[in-house]
Amino acid sequence: MSDKCYLEIDGKKIELPIKKGTVGPSVIDVRDLYKNSGYFTFDPGFTSTASCQSDICYIDGDKGVLLYRGYEIEKLAEKSSFLEVAYLLINGELPNKDKYIEFSDAIKNHTMVHEQIRSFYNGFRRGGHPMAMMLAVVGALSAFYADSSNVNDPKEREISSRRMIAKVPTLAAMAYKYSIGQPFIYPDNDLSYCENFLHMCFAVPATKYKINKSVSNALEKIFILHADHEQNASTSTVRLAASSAVNPFASISAGFSALWGPLHGGANEAALNMLKKIGSVKNIPEYIKKAKDPNDNFRLMGFGHRVYKSYDPRAKVMQKACYEVLDALGKKNDEVLKVALELEKIALNDDYFIQKKLYPNIDFYSGITLSAMGFPPEMFVVLFAVARTVGWIAHWSEMYSDPLNKLNRPRQLYIGKNKREFVDQDKR
Ligand code: ACO
């Protein structure tokens, strides 16, 4: 395969280098295109643009493959733990026992948040979305932990990374507790990462939370599945914000903002709401019809993906975890699950969905699972963000050790007015 290609513009032949990755499509390096031709490339939505080089995560959307640092997502979900996966994503290798103990102890060491952070929550309306609270409090960490905010110092980067992995679940549980009017529960460092999160969400001072192993194991899987997904909208947002060398907490808070939308991390909430709205198996054909109608902007939430044009490999693991949780909690006859199963069956056999390669994505089953665990829909995206914090941090760390890293500054195709004379207000 060639290592260069040519572009002919205005009678001039321009050579463009081709860069090859380990696997996956090669890229045409257009960095010097403007300098050599006076032209930019145009790619709204970045459908054909690689914004960076990365060795963290690989997706083959046609085959339905997802690898973290070369390991298949299915294997990691089956055999690993969330903290081990966090170590892998950030450091590039699975930890041996000593390294794992050092890492998990360090995370436990940071699970508490500054006591004054509690008072932030009192400023929010009780009914406010917990994700709205998260954007604010994660960004506000920069006002508390300025001693680890020098992004050019690898040691400070490590400390702030560990602080965020440890504190984001505590902040998320606090947002939930605040929204339901219950007192905050301090972390319990005798518990695993996921058990501790469940404890902070569901314990009350009067009653200890009894850990259900099936539920905490399923949460471990859910967190692993959501931990990273290469240059998605929120990770790209983190990279873009971080390219200005802003402090780490501000960059990660930008990731929270981008993740919240229903086309990204908010889709699991939207998927569950949609399943509830469909309500019964008999109403499915009406909704399938709406989804196929080009004049109706209704979409089957939890279906389709920008990259996967095959079954999302995470959706398969998620489906299994969903059954396990519903089984363990005695909720297998759940009406929403029945609607989901039937909807999936009908859509997978429908020409519209087959031709457009629309398969269930991870969000289709995660909402049902989290709901069965006791989380309200508005917490789904918060849980997604807790897990994805690890991926954002891995990409954020990688950026700073990449010699190609520079301020991200896309260009545009300007279609506005050309220079014109200012007209005084009384003459307009
Ligand atoms: N239901 C019905 N039709 C759909 C759906 C859907 N869920 N998704 C895409 N289509 C159709 C579009 O109408 C479009 O049809 P057209 O070619 O006739 O205009 C075609 O499929 C392609 O859709 P695009 O929006 O151009 O594809 P894109 O790659 O931009 O969309 C997206 C990806 C945004 C995820 C889309 O499939 C969608 O809106 N899905 C529902 C929301 C969702 O589940 N998001 C979660 C994504 S996973 C995640 O972030 C973790």
DSSP-derived secondary structure for 187-246? --TTS-HHHHHHHHHH-BTTBPPPP-HHHHHHHHHHHHHHS--TT-HHHHHHHHHHTTT-
Could you give the count of Cα atoms lying within 13 Å of 346 in the half-sphere of its Cβ?
Answer: 18
The pLDDT of residue 413 is: 97
Closest ligand 1 atom to residue 356 Cα is 21
Decide if 387 contacts 226 (C-beta within 8 A).
Answer: yes
Please state, in angstroms and rounded to a whole number, the distance separating the CA atoms of residues 159 and 161: 5
**One pLDDT digit (tens) per residue for the chain, 428 residues:** 789 999 999 999 999 999 999 999 999 999 999 999 999 999 999 999 999 999 999 999 999 999 999 999 999 999 999 999 999 999 999 999 999 999 999 999 999 999 999 999 999 998 899 999 999 999 999 999 999 889 999 999 999 999 999 999 999 999 999 999 999 999 999 999 999 999 999 999 998 889 999 999 999 999 999 999 999 999 999 999 999 999 999 999 999 999 999 888 888 888 889 999 999 999 999 999 999 999 999 999 989 988 888 888 999 899 899 989 999 999 888 888 889 889 988 988 999 999 999 988 888 889 889 999 999 999 999 999 999 999 999 999 999 999 999 999 999 999 999 999 999 999 99
Distance of CA 110 to the CA centre of its chain: 22
Sheet bearing 27-28, strands edge to edge: 4-9, 12-19, 27-28
Closest ligand 1 atom to residue 384 Cα is 51
Which two structure tokens, joined as six digits, stand for 162?
Answer: 């560990």
Amino acid at 121: Y
The pLDDT of residue 367 is: 87
Told to judge if 363 belongs to the known catalytic residues of this protein, a careful annotator would answer yes
The pLDDT of residue 310 is: 87
Q: What are phi and psi of 9, to 5 degrees?
A: -130, 130
Decide if 399 contacts 365 (C-beta within 8 A).
Answer: no
Could you give the count of Cα atoms lying within 13 Å of 55 in the half-sphere of its Cβ?
Answer: 10
Q: Which DSSP helix (H) or strand (E) runs through 174? A: helix 154-179
Which two structure tokens, joined as six digits, stand for 220?
Answer: 């471990």
Amino acid at 373: M
This prediction has a pTM of 0.91
Torsion over CA: 315, 317, 318, 319 (sign): positive
Site to probe by mutation for ligand 1, drawn from 235, 306, 317 as the one with most ligand atoms within 8 Å of Cβ, is: 306
Please state, in angstroms and rounded to a whole number, the distance separating the CA atoms of residues 350 and 353: 6
Smallest Cα–Cα separation from 299: which of 360, 257, 218? 360
Please state, in angstroms and rounded to a whole number, the distance separating the CA atoms of residues 392 and 248: 10
Find the catalytic residue in 305, 327, 350, 402: 305
Neighbours of 88 (CB within 10 A): 23
Could you give the count of Cα atoms lying within 13 Å of 162 in the half-sphere of its Cβ?
Answer: 17
- Four-point Cα dihedral 294, 295, 299, 304, nearest 10: 20
Please state, in angstroms and rounded to a whole number, the distance separating the CA atoms of residues 53 and 76: 23
The pLDDT of residue 264 is: 86
The pLDDT of residue 335 is: 85
Site to probe by mutation for ligand 1, drawn from 259, 289, 305, 346 as the one with most ligand atoms within 8 Å of Cβ, is: 305
282-290: list long-range contacts, CB under 8 Å, 24+ apart. Answer: 284/339, 284/342, 284/343, 284/346, 285/346, 287/343, 288/343, 288/346, 288/347, 288/350
The pLDDT of residue 406 is: 93
Which residues have any ligand 1 atom within 6 Å of their CB? 263-264, 267, 291, 299-306, 356, 358, 361-363
Residue where the block lists tokens 């940071």: 110
Helix residue spans in 227-312 (DSSP H): 233-242, 248-260, 267-278, 284-292
The pLDDT of residue 309 is: 87
Decide if 368 contacts 340 (C-beta within 8 A).
Answer: yes
Find the catalytic residue in 129, 264, 363, 395: 363
Hey, whose CA ends up nearest to atom 49 of ligand 1?
264
**Which class for 122: exposed (0-12), middle (13-18), buried (19 or more C-beta within 10 A)?**
exposed
Please state, in angstroms and rounded to a whole number, the distance separating the CA atoms of residues 50 and 28: 9
